DNA sequence: ACATTACGTAAGATATTCTTACATTTGTAA
DNA sequence: TTACAAATGTAAGAATATCTTACGTAATGT
C-alpha cells in the first residue's frame, strides 16, 4: 500500500492548518524539532505522521487532533431489542462502579 | 529521542481499548491488515502509529481518535481492579451494541 | 531587476519497519 | 498438577521509510 492510497488525507489538513496559523514550513520545523524538508514531505503526503507528531502539530496550529485526523461525527439509531438484554448484564455491576464505568466509557465514546 | 520518551502514551490506550473491545492482537491484526507482531510492538510502544492507523484502530475499537491521541482528559483511575472487572463484563457485549447501550444508560442516569 | 524567503526535491546515509520463525506466557480442560 | 491450546512477546535479516544535506525553482517584497 502506497502512502498516497491512504484514505484519510491528513496532509491537506496539516497544510491548511499551518497557513491558518500563519506559519512557514521552516518555522513549524523549528517548533517541532523537524527538518524543513520533512514538513514538506508530510504536507505532500509522502511521509507519514505519527501520533505524537499529530499532537505537536495540533498544539502548534491550535487545532484539535481530532480535526487533523478527519474524524466525522456519526449519528446512530438507538432502537434495538438486544439492548435490554445487555442492560440486564450491566445491572449486575454495583452502582458505585457503574458510575465510574460510565464516565470511563463516555470519555472513550465516539462523539 | 527514544520512543519511550514520547509524552503521549497512545500504546497504553490502544491496548486498553482493544481489551475493552474484546479482541485479540491477532484479530485486530487481521482487521487492520497488519501482522500480529506489529500490533504487539505498537502496544508496547516500540513502533509508532501513523494517522491512518489511528483512524483504523479507532474504528475497530469504536473509540474516538481523539481519545487515542490522549486529547480527552483521563480523570479516571483506570487501574482500579473493580473497573477492570466491570470492563471485562462490558467487553462481552457486541461492539455494535455497546454504543447504543451506553446511550440508553446515559439517558437513565440523568434523574 | 534584485534580494530574500519559502518551498520542492534528489541522493546517499541512517533508522525504522516488515516478515518469519521461535519463545514465553496465559488460560483451560483432563 | 500436567498437558494442551491460545495469546502474546521477541529475535534477526530483509525490505522499506526516514533523515540530512545540498541544490533548484517559485513566490514575495523592495
CATH number at residue A35: 1.10.260.40
DSSP states along chain A: --GGG-SS-HHHHHHHHHHHTT--HHHHHHHHT--HHHHHHHHTTSS--BHHHHHHHHHHHT--HHHHHT----------THHHHHHHHHTTS-HHHHHHHHHHHHHHS--
* Same domain assignment for residues A63 and A82: no
A105 touches chain B (CB under 8 A): yes
Q: Flag if A110 and B50 touch (Cβ within 8 Å).
A: no
* Same domain assignment for residues B27 and B9: yes
pLDDT in tens, B17-38: 998 888 999 999 999 999 999 9
Query: For residue A15, is pLDDT > 50?
Result: yes
A46 touches chain B (CB under 8 A): no
* Same domain assignment for residues A89 and A56: no
Query: For residue B43, is pLDDT > 80?
Result: yes
Q: How many CA atoms lie within 13 A of A64 on its CB side?
A: 13
Query: For residue A4, is pLDDT > 50?
Result: no
Domain hosting A30: range is 3-68
| pLDDT at site A99 | 56
| pLDDT at site B23 | 94
* Same domain assignment for residues A106 and A55: no
| pLDDT at site A103 | 55
* Same domain assignment for residues A61 and A84: no
Could you tell me the distance in Å between the CA of residue A42 and the C1' of nucleotide D26? 19
Q: Which of B52, B96, B99 to mutate to test the interface with A (most CBs of A within 10 A)?
A: B52
* Same domain assignment for residues A64 and A80: no
Q: Which of residues 65-94 of B touch A (CB under 8 A)?
A: 65-76, 78, 80, 82-83, 85-87, 89-90, 92-94
The total number of residues shown for chain A amounts to 111
pLDDT in tens, A70-96: 874 322 333 344 444 445 455 555 555
Looking across all nucleic acid strands, the nucleotide with the smallest C1' to CA distance from residue B41 is D9
pLDDT in tens, A99-111: 555 555 555 555 4
* Same domain assignment for residues B51 and B81: no
A20 touches chain B (CB under 8 A): no
* Same domain assignment for residues A35 and A84: no
Q: In total, how many domains does chain B have?
A: 2
pTM exceeding 0.85: no
Query: For residue B101, is pLDDT > 80?
Result: no
| pLDDT at site B22 | 86
Amino acid at each position: 500500500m502506497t502512502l498516497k492510497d491512504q484514505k484519510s488525507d491528513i496532509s491537506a489538513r496539516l497544510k491548511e492548518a499551518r497557513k491558518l496559523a500563519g506559519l512557514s514550513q521552516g518555522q513549524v520545523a523549528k517548533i517541532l524539532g523537524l527538518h524543513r524538508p520533512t514538513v514538506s514531505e508530510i504536507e505532500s503526503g509522502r511521509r507519514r505522521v505519527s501520533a505524537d507528531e499529530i499532537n505537536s502539530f495540533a498544539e502548534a496550529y491550535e487545532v484539535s487532533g481530532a480535526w487533523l485526523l478527519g474524524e466525522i461525527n456519526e449519528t446512530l439509531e438507538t432502537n434495538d431489542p438486544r439492548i435490554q438484554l445487555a442492560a440486564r448484564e450491566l445491572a449486575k455491576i454495583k452502582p458505585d462502579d457503574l458510575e465510574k464505568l460510565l464516565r470511563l466509557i463516555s470519555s472513550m465514546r465516539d462523539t
